[in-house]
Amino acid sequence: MPHSRSLLRVARHLAGNGPTAEDLVQDTLLRAWRSFDQFQTGTNAKAWLFRILFNAFHAQGRKARSRALLVSLDHAGRELDLPGGEGFGLSDAAAVTQALAGLSPEHRAVLSLAVVEGFTCREIAGILSIPIGTVMSRLSRARQALRERLAPADSGLRRARSAVCSEGEARELP
């Protein structure tokens, strides 16, 4: 179960809530176990599992929904403990989460797989069963939409914006 955390992270974005995401991951792992004979040795097992995850999600007919981020007032103003940085508070995290939630499910899925999970465009194309050009287009549009949504926000989000931008794009940010 080495990839279960990654599966759950993406499933939460897809399903919109924890229990549904956990059910989706369980279904994914069960489907993978049942069809393990179809796995091709030497290929990317993580990409294979994500392909099963997206197939299970679409088979169940669940739609990704926007949801409100609940932040306890007890923690407002505290800073998140993120590696390599300071000045990124809960309000900044809420802004990034809201911006992500505002993306279409297709853009959110491609961005999650590329930025969070580290898949290549070719692997994402295989996982989602779409052409690589579509992946690159969706990824570019998702990054642009996030930049636009986060632009009016506090300048403390600069690192968050650069995390979803390519290295060249990050240098161009104001």
For 1-33, the pLDDT digits (tens) are 678 888 888 888 877 778 888 888 998 888 888
Judgement on whether residues 88 and 162 belong to the same structural domain of the protein: yes
Assess contact for 86 and 79: CB atoms under 8 A.
Answer: yes
Provide the greatest CA pair distance for the chain.
52
**Cα distance between residue 163 and residue 100, in whole Å:** 13
Residues 26 and 98 in one domain: no
Kindly state the tokens that stand for 45. 């097992």
Residue 106 three-state SS: helix
Q: Check whether residue 125 and residue 50 sit in a common domain.
A: no
- With cut-offs at 50, 70 and 90, classify the pLDDT of residue 137: very high
**pTM score, whole prediction:** 0.53
Query: How much is the pLDDT for 152?
Result: 67
Please give the residue range of the domain that contains residue 160.
81-168
- Residue 89: what pLDDT? 65
CATH number of the domain enclosing 49: 1.10.1740.10
Residue 42 counted as domain residue: yes
**Helix (H) or strand (E) run with residue 45 in it:** helix 45-60
CA distance 161 to 158: 5
- The number of distinct structural domains making up the chain is 2
In a domain, 75, yes or no: no
87 with 137, same domain?
yes
